[in-house]
A and B are shown apart, each in its own frame.
Chain A
Amino acid sequence: MSTHKGVLWKIRMLNIFLTSTRRVRITRLHGARGLGTSPAASCPKVCIVGGGPAGFYTAQHLVKTRPDVQVDIYERLPVPFGLVRFGVAPDHPEVKNVMNTFTQTAQHARCSFHGNVSVGKDVTVQELQEAYHAVVLSYGAEGNRTLGVPGEDLAGVHSAKDFVGWYNGLPTNRDLRPDLRCETAVILGQGNVALDVARILLSPVDILKVRDLSLLRPCNNTDITQPALDTLAESSVRRVLIVGRRGPLQLACTIKELREMVNLPGTRPEMEASDFECIAKMLKVLPRPRKRLTELLLKVAVETPEETELERRNSAKRAWGFRFFRSPVEILPSDDLTRAAGIRLAVNRLEGEGEDVWAVTTGEVEDVECGLVISSIGYKSLPIDPAVPFDPRKHIIPNTMGRVQKCAGLYCSGWVKRGPTGVIATTMNDSFDTARTLLHDMDEGTLDISTVKPGSAGVTTILEKRGVKPVLFSDWEKIDSEESKRGEARGKPREKLLDVGEMLKVAWT
């Protein structure tokens, strides 16, 4: 048994029913944690800014741990769930199952959701602090890091954030209209978002339409927006290069996503064997996740495939590959100077050792012809309100264990706290950490919960004066129902509404 912290559970079968369901009883062996709290003079009220995973997981932990706390979640859009709705790729519907947990949280007696409220504009953070005992900032990262190279503003250049927002129906990106009438697309960055973009660009449209080919039932279609599906069906993109400034051992994506690319029907991998010199001999010293990732990469990039795979590759009409040791220096314009026609890449070498290696330019450059450049080098949080400190270098809210520095009563969770990396489970753990910090402060008296605060009643008064009407969770359920209904007509799980005005109309019928 491992020596690290964990809880032991004994599993006893209670019954085996005639159906295949088995009921088990679990008893905790030791390490039980009590749920009791000291009674408060008034009901503690917490406000959460941001209705994505961080907001919902923070809320979940708070309401489950203290039987008296009321949690209100404020979200700028009329619809909840943040990047689970707008970031997770449409061909990863299982990842979106977390929405069921979030729905349970929103429907909890001591939790409420208020959409269509823009904190910093419709209501200030200071006003929230007056209405609540604590405010948790969980509003994520709506910006993106820029390349800072000439040509970045040419047509045909998009941030991955915008491209992903476009195929996932984010209202701000509805009119992106990416031009896919080119043969080669270059993606800058090699994280999971870059691989999502590559996969969506190269997936046979039938897969985006029918998720599980072995079933071929209409109900298995994805929730990719119809305009995106139509555009992808007409796409000329046949080759996608996924570019990183460092080497194969610094590849930022995870193995699940790499394996999906390797197995993508109708595609073949094309990589430079020279990028992989000296990699094989490093394998034995690598930790397991990096080792397995590198083994798969080597197998795909360097090893001679066996016959069926060779045949499959030869008949594939689309290609993808990683390009390592390359940094963008300029996006090259077309003859009429209106759009991207290529990209100039600096050739790098690595300096440093072990975990700490960085790219240094060699002076050499290389031009690659392409008509689409997607920059996937990171999302970025933005400051929300002058009352909230913000680190302009790291682009996060300065904090210690979720407590905003020098601001009593202010907390943060998720990407705005730690930076925009990690999977949903990372954010979940982080949100639970912030909730624990907040609860600790309540228990210790560091956070004063003895005064009576108006909570959402106070905020509603302010919003009414300003002509802002919140979308409640039951209103979202009408949007949800309408999207599902529209999706059914097309054999999709939902057809997302793409316009805030339309969302509000449906919400308030």
Chain B
Amino acid sequence: MAQLCVPSSLTGKGACEGTLACSTCHVILDQKVYDQLGPITDEENDLLDLAYGLSDTSRLGCQVCLSRDLEGITVCVPDGVNDMRSSEDTGPKL
């Protein structure tokens, strides 16, 4: 999925260019599709831990190999919303 021709509205995804150094390519899959894919490495899981909106059928897009079997699948790309702070005063906890 790292080789997708990504339209400009998917700005900010794939920041590390598919090298397992970020979680911006986080996608959520249908259970059936998720189950079809290969096992997840510790390294991928470590980065998924940091992804916003992590689900039970989450994967990093850059680690998913597209094949003919996956033709026509629908993936959910979570909006990368910063969930750490509210819209009020921001700042570190002291």
Q: Which residues of A contact B (CB under 8 A)?
A: 1-2, 4-13, 16, 21-26, 28-29, 33, 35, 57, 60-61, 64, 92, 94-95, 97-98, 100-101, 254-256, 259, 288-289, 292-293, 378, 391, 393-396, 398-401, 417-426, 428-430, 432-433
Q: In the complex, which residues 1-34 of chain B have their Cβ closer than 8 Å to any Cβ of chain A? A: 3-9, 11-12, 15-17, 19-24, 28, 30
A29 and B80 contacting across the interface, CB-CB below 8 Å: no
State whether the Cβ of B90 lies closer than 8 Å to any Cβ in chain A. yes
A419 and B75 contacting across the interface, CB-CB below 8 Å: no
B84 and A5 contacting across the interface, CB-CB below 8 Å: no
B66 and A5 contacting across the interface, CB-CB below 8 Å: no
Selected contact of A2 from candidates B28, B43, B81, CB within 8 Å: B28
B92 and A429 contacting across the interface, CB-CB below 8 Å: no
Nearest-CB distance from A124 to chain B (Å)? 25
Not counting A94-B17, A254-B50, A255-B46, a sample of 12 additional A-B residue pairs whose C-beta atoms are within 8 angstroms of each other reads A1-B76, A11-B70, A23-B5, A97-B17, A254-B49, A256-B47, A391-B91, A399-B90, A400-B87, A418-B85, A422-B84, A429-B80
Q: Mark B30-70, 1 if CB is under 8 A from A, else 0.
A: 10000000000011011101101111010000000010101
Q: Which residues of B contact A (CB under 8 A)?
A: 3-9, 11-12, 15-17, 19-24, 28, 30, 42-43, 45-47, 49-50, 52-55, 57, 66, 68, 70-82, 84-85, 87-92, 94
Given A2-B28, A98-B15: A417 in contact with B90 (beta carbons within 8 A):
yes
Bound-state Cα–Cα, A366 to B30, Å: 54
Selected contact of A255 from candidates B49, B77, B84, CB within 8 Å: B49
Bound-state Cα–Cα, A402 to B75, Å: 31
A26 and B91 contacting across the interface, CB-CB below 8 Å: no
Bound-state Cα–Cα, A287 to B56, Å: 13
* 11 intermolecular pairs with C-beta atoms under 8 Å apart: A2-B76, A33-B9, A94-B20, A256-B47, A288-B49, A393-B94, A419-B91, A424-B22, A425-B15, A428-B80, A433-B82
Task: Report A-chain residues with C-beta under 8 Å of the C-beta of B24.
Answer: 425, 428
A11 and B75 contacting across the interface, CB-CB below 8 Å: yes
Bound-state Cα–Cα, A424 to B12, Å: 11
Task: Report B-chain residues with C-beta under 8 Å of the C-beta of A29.
Answer: 74
Task: Report B-chain residues with C-beta under 8 Å of the C-beta of A5.
Answer: 53, 78-79, 81
Bound-state Cα–Cα, A28 to B10, Å: 11
* Nearest neighbor of A88 in chain B, beta-carbon distance: B21
A288 and B54 contacting across the interface, CB-CB below 8 Å: yes
Tally A-B pairs: CB < 8 A.
165
A429 and B88 contacting across the interface, CB-CB below 8 Å: no
Task: Report A-chain residues with C-beta under 8 Å of the C-beta of B85.
Answer: 418
Given A1-B76, A24-B66: A432 in contact with B12 (beta carbons within 8 A):
yes
A421 and B92 contacting across the interface, CB-CB below 8 Å: yes
Task: Report A-chain residues with C-beta under 8 Å of the C-beta of B12.
Answer: 57, 425, 428-429, 432
B8 and A64 contacting across the interface, CB-CB below 8 Å: yes
B47 and A419 contacting across the interface, CB-CB below 8 Å: no
B16 and A98 contacting across the interface, CB-CB below 8 Å: yes
Nearest 4 interchain pairs by C-beta: A419-B92, A94-B19, A289-B49, A394-B91
Bound-state Cα–Cα, A417 to B92, Å: 10
Selected contact of B21 from candidates A92, A393, A421, A428, CB within 8 Å: A92
Selected contact of B5 from candidates A1, A25, A428, CB within 8 Å: A25
Given A100-B17, A428-B15: A21 in contact with B50 (beta carbons within 8 A):
no
B77 and A6 contacting across the interface, CB-CB below 8 Å: yes
Task: Report A-chain residues with C-beta under 8 Å of the C-beta of B19.
Answer: 94, 97
Task: Report A-chain residues with C-beta under 8 Å of the C-beta of B80.
Answer: 425, 428-429, 432
Bound-state Cα–Cα, A400 to B49, Å: 28
* Nearest neighbor of A420 in chain B, beta-carbon distance: B92
Given A24-B5, A428-B12: A7 in contact with B79 (beta carbons within 8 A):
yes
Given A7-B76, A92-B21, A97-B19: A400 in contact with B50 (beta carbons within 8 A):
no
* Nearest neighbor of B73 in chain A, beta-carbon distance: A11
Bound-state Cα–Cα, A16 to B65, Å: 14
Bound-state Cα–Cα, A161 to B82, Å: 25
Nearest-CB distance from A504 to chain B (Å)? 30
* Nearest neighbor of A422 in chain B, beta-carbon distance: B84
Given A2-B78, A429-B12: A12 in contact with B90 (beta carbons within 8 A):
no
Task: Report A-chain residues with C-beta under 8 Å of the C-beta of B23.
Answer: 425
Bound-state Cα–Cα, A395 to B91, Å: 8
Task: Report B-chain residues with C-beta under 8 Å of the C-beta of A421.
Answer: 92
Bound-state Cα–Cα, A430 to B24, Å: 13
Task: Report B-chain residues with C-beta under 8 Å of the C-beta of A401.
Answer: 87
Bound-state Cα–Cα, A98 to B30, Å: 30
Task: Report B-chain residues with C-beta under 8 Å of the C-beta of A425.
Answer: 12, 15, 22-24, 50, 80
Nearest-CB distance from B93 to chain A (Å)? 8
